[in-house]
Structure 1
Amino acid sequence: MIRAAVGRAAAVAQLAAALMLLVLAIRFGVSAVTKSVESKNPELGPASSASAAPTPVVTKRPPPASVPTVERGKSLRLPMVISIGPDRSELYVNGVRLGHTPFVGEVTCKAGEKIRIELVPPRGTPKSYERLCVPGTVRVAD
């Protein structure tokens, strides 16, 4: 009799735990979808009347992005994104093996120096790229 009661209590506890996990998963799922939708769709202003004449859109070339100035030779830690070449190509930065492509990570360099990026695919010829060490993300992409 006591065993049956303990068994029922255990089953109820497991069911309660499963329901709490389900509620938590739904909460995170709704939150993620809501944030994704908000970030992809800009908020629209109030609808204009149909009789209003459309205004021409004049686009200007945006001003060049201002790159923060850094003392030459100062050590920088930069994010690096490599998405070029065949997958699983070996990645070397300044002669040091960092991993395989596609790669997202960080690299440390001195401001103003060149960063030498080498990709060694499983088959084929190696490719090398050079980027300047300046604040911002180091990207090598197709």
Structure 2
Amino acid sequence: MSDSPTPSKGQPAIREAALFGLCPRCGAKTLFAGWARFSERCSACGLDFSRFNVGDGPAAFLILIVGSLVVGLAIWLQLAFEPPWWVHVLLWVPLTTVGVLALLRVTKAWLLAMEFRQSAAEHRHEGGADE
């Protein structure tokens, strides 16, 4: 099969592809080879995942969002209960780490699925009546 993203009935919704690590073309559960490492290609349909450039966007995005939530909660906790500093360390360091790592896989899959869909829309537009 070619790597051109053509729409088909077997394509999962972007939300499903992100949550379950599904191939954005065929819906097979082949997107990841590790916790947050993409496979080279889909073993079911042959889509080359390495051609998508997800980069560090998901990690930076998650650090900003999770970090903002953690800072807001830490400030609230400090103002409401005034715990010792070590309570903050015991709470917020693991919570931040787990929050970012838990959401990293979903965010990376979501971004790859979005890239796939966007190039599919661009591909359909090429060679149309507008040219």
Give the TM-score range, shorter chain. under 0.3
- Structure holding more strand per residue: 1
**Which has the greater radius of gyration?**
1
- Structure holding more helix per residue: 2
Q: TM-score, normalised by structure 1?
A: 0.23
